[in-house]
Structure 1
């Protein structure tokens, strides 16, 4: 099955300068585990629940941190035409639970490990 059949086509994001409490609030409101981190209209990274928890646990002043300082900037992306199993393997290999989905160099959505697990459950 292709990523185009399972990804979430809505992109929820935050600005790189947004404080961590705002980032956590947005994740909660949108019921998502990751947000695209934007610098203007450019995607600069991805911030996940794990990034927020790590920042809270390791920083002396976590309220002073921003999405941009805590986000993963070495982004791996999935293409719409990629096979779900290949993407799942790449996510496992890199320890990623949320991956941006790209179409012709443009962010069009996200796919999560949960999305990919659901595909395997449906196809058995």
Structure 2
């Protein structure tokens, strides 16, 4: 199945200057495991995951006040809408990641999780 049929189009985002406390609040409220970090132009600059927050907890004296830009993964891999879910899932497994931003024409259009891919590949 193509990624365009299974990604989540409502991407929860934060800015690089947001605190980790704010980012954690967004994750909990939306019940998700990662969010996109975007600049003022809406350009994807990274992804902030639960794992990144856990790392901050071990490295920072006051992790809630640290900035998202300090812990966001940069140079993120992305999925494209036309890609096959099996191929994307394989890339995610190989890289040890659970969330990929989905882009179309260079613009962030959604997020796909390993859970999304697993559900399609298991029930297809």
Aligned twin of 1:27: 27
Secondary structure, aligned partner of 1:110 = strand
Aligned twin of 1:5: 5
Flag structure 1 segments of 5+ consecutive residues without an equivalent. Answer: none
Question: 4+ residue stretches of structure 1 with deviation over 4 A?
Answer: none
Aligned twin of 2:39: 39
Aligned alpha-carbon RMSD (Å): 1.0
CA distance in structure 2 between the partners assigned to 1:46 and 1:75 by the alignment: 7
Deviates more, 1:57-66 or 1:89-98: 57-66
- Deviation, structure 1 residue 63: 2.7
Q: Which aligned pairs between 1:1-124 and structure 2 lie closer than 5 A? A: 1-40=1-40, 41-123=42-124
- Count of residues in Structure 1 that have an aligned counterpart in Structure 2: 123
Q: TM-score, normalized by length of structure 2?
A: 0.94
Secondary structure, aligned partner of 1:18 = coil
Secondary structure, aligned partner of 1:53 = helix
- Deviation, structure 1 residue 118: 0.4
CA distance in structure 2 between the partners assigned to 1:39 and 1:109 by the alignment: 16
Q: TM-score, normalized by length of structure 1?
A: 0.94
